[in-house]
Structures are given as structure tokens and as C-alpha cells.
Amino acid sequence: MPKHFLKETDFTPAEVAKIFANAREMKQARTQTPKTLVGQSWGMLFYKNSTRTRISFEVGLHELGAHPLILSASNTQISRGESTADTAKVMSRYLHGLIIRCYDHQLLEDFAEEGSVPVVNALSDFLHPCQIYTDMFSIAEKLDPDAKDLTACLKGKKLAFLGDSACNMANSWILGGAHLGMGIALAGPEEFAPGGEIREQLSFEGLEEKFTFHTDPLEAVADADVVYTDVWVSMGDEAEAEARLQQMKPYQVTTEIMTAAKPGALFMHCLPAHAGEEVSQEVLDSKASIIFDQAENRLHVQKAILAELVS
């Protein structure tokens, strides 16, 4: 059975520490990346647009020695209704792995079930685990760059997530935080509180429901080591855009919000950002902001994830 990476808990904390150590090495000596995937061909099947994920995986696969194929529903027979089961079986006969960005998370589970090669979640409506591993690595890299175990300094740290607390990024922080021992405090309108699906996932994983949800953003950011936000209108939510933009206004990350967090707190965003909506331009440009380090680290961490998957 191949190993898949569909959610934050698919690697044990010890494996995550190994991935982070490997990512650090790959970052320090990018041109000397061991060609772990030489001779392999990996499909990248994207049902949604992407800048960071697509480019970092395509470059990462190349640097690991593999050939990346960019695929979409519209340029394959998926658009003519070929079943997921048949598509997964056929693709598994050619490819050594599949990296998939989609709407319904179940599609990832179906590809994993029906195919016979590793499947990587490049974002679903439910979770974005490649981003969370990268963000945790990025936090550790700032807090304790030379640590033997880069996951150690994450334990007990508090991350405040402001805005759509029911989106894929919020779910992923809840799951990833519980898995690696970080405290997660979310703030947003009551209608966008964390939903039942992520609570069920925590319970399924045997993880305690330790996150907190607040409607007052100042309560969530009090004593936070990291303040995080994401777009208020995720891909697929466009029909609700106008209402969401109104409802989320009180949750914009401003300099005032950053001042209410722990002194020296980091500001993070998975990007793309909408300056003036979920975050002010001033915060994006501030010294606290590590948004472009996060974006860069997608490359190094995902290379390490792929290497671990095939090890």
C-alpha cells in the first residue's frame, strides 16, 4: 500500500521532525538535493487555480529528479465524465504519484483508495496540509533555527487565526496544532465558527479538542506568538463574497491587532492576500511579517514531504 499525505496527521510527530530536518538541509544546499525521485513521473491534477502550490511542486519535482505533468479536469477525460475510479487506476499505470488540488476532500480519499500510487493533498475545501507543515517549519525556523528537532519549539506556542474560522486553513491549523502541540485560538463571526467536520476529525484521530473560538479578535490574539489570517472568500465561496466581506470586517489584522499580541509576534498569511480586507498593507509590509519566507518554504518542505513519502 502506498503512503498518502492527505491530512496533517498522516505523518507521526517524529516523521514531521524528520521532514523538517530534511527541508532545512534542502534549503541550505538547494542545488545538492538528493535525486530521490529520479526516473519518476508525477501528475499534478488541479481543479482550482494556484500560484505557490503549483510552481513549488513543479520546481520541487524537477529538483528531486522527477518529471512533473500538469493536468486538469478540463484537459483530461474527467471533463467527459470518466469515473474517478477509472481515472485513478489508469493514472496509476503511468505515474509514480499524484498531487491533487480539488473541492471535495472525498475526491482525494477516492483517488487514494482506487489508485495504487501516493496521493498528496495540494488543498481541498477541508484541509491544506502542505501549507500547514510549511508554516510550522517557518515558525520553527524563526524561533529556533538550529534546533535538533525543529518541532520542539512549537509545543505550547499560541497561534491566533482571524477571519473565516471554518475554512480549510482554519481546519488545518486546528488539526495540525492538536497533532504537534500548538495552542490555536480562532476569531471570527459566529456563522464562521469551526464546524462539525473538523471536530469529528479530531475525535477520529483521538486528539483532544483544545482549540478556542472567540468572536472578539482581541481575546484571540492576547498572548499569541503568531497572528495568522487567510482570505475571507475562499475558492468556491465566491457567490457569498459580498456578505462575507461585510461580516468579517471586524477581523482585519491591523497594527492595533498585532500590538495586542505577544511582543515580537509573527504575522503569517498563506497568500494570496487581499490588502485592505483580511489584513492591512501596513501589517503585510511590517517587520513582523514572514509571508514571503512562508511562500519560499513551500518548495523546501514539499520536497522533504515527497522524499519521505517514497522512503
The catalytic site residues sit at: 101, 128, 131, 230, 270, 298
Which of residues 260, 266, 268, 270 is near ligand NVA by CB under 6 A? 270
Minimal distance, residue 170 CB to ligand NVA, in Å: 8
Q: CA 72, CA 66: separation in Å to the nearest integer?
A: 19
Helices 84-94 and 105-114 cross at an angle (nearest 10°) of 60
Match 501528475 to its residue by C-alpha cell: 43
Choice between 159 and 270, CB closer to ligand CP: 270
For position 245 contacting ligand NVA by CB under 6 A, the verdict is no
Contact 101, 122 (CB under 8 A): yes
- Contacted by 230, from ligand CP, ligand NVA, none: CB < 5 to 8 Å by type: ligand NVA
Q: Nearest to residue 301, comparing CAs of 172, 140, 143?
A: 140
Task: Look at the chain and count its residues.
Answer: 311
Q: Is 151 in the site for ligand NVA (CB under 6 A)?
A: no
CB of 154 to ligand NVA, least distance (A): 21
Among 21, 73, 193, 235, binds ligand NVA (CB under 6 A): 235
269 binds ligand CP (CB under 6 A): no
**Which residue, judged by CB position, is nearest to ligand NVA in the bound state?**
234
CA distance 170 to 177: 10
Grid cell 483544545 in the structure block, residue: 210
Sign of the alpha-carbon torsion through 229, 142, 61, 148 = negative
Q: How many residues bind ligand NVA (CB under 6 A)?
A: 9
Grid cell listed for 119: 496521493
Q: How many CB atoms lie within 10 A of CB 286?
A: 12
H or E element, residue 186? strand 183-187
Could you say which residues in the range 158-177 bind ligand NVA, by CB under 6 A?
167-169
Is 4 strand, coil or helix? Answer: coil
Does position 37 interact with ligand CP (CB under 6 A)? The reply is no
The answer to whether 298 touches 53, Cβ cutoff 8 Å, is yes
Q: Is 168 in the site for ligand CP (CB under 6 A)?
A: no
274 binds ligand CP (CB under 6 A): no
Q: 51 contacts which partner out of ligand NVA, ligand CP, none, CB within 5 to 8 A by kind? A: ligand CP
Closest-CA residue to 137 (of 3, 284, 307, 268): 268
Burial code of 197-229, b = ≥16 C-beta within 10 A, e = fewer? ebeebbeeeeeeeebebbeebeebbeebbbbbb
108 binds ligand NVA (CB under 6 A): no
Q: How far is the CB of 39 from ligand CP (least distance, A)?
A: 27
By CB under 6 A, the residues from 43 to 82 that bind ligand CP are 50-53
Q: How far is the CB of 274 from ligand CP (least distance, A)?
A: 13
Which one of 124, 131, 168, 229 is in contact with ligand CP (CB under 6 A)? 131
Question: Which CB, 122 or 153, lies closer to ligand CP?
Answer: 122
Residues of the shown chain interacting with ligand NVA in the complex, contacts defined by CB under 6 A: 123, 167-169, 230-231, 234-235, 270
Residues that bind ligand CP (CB under 6 A): 50-53, 123, 131, 270-271
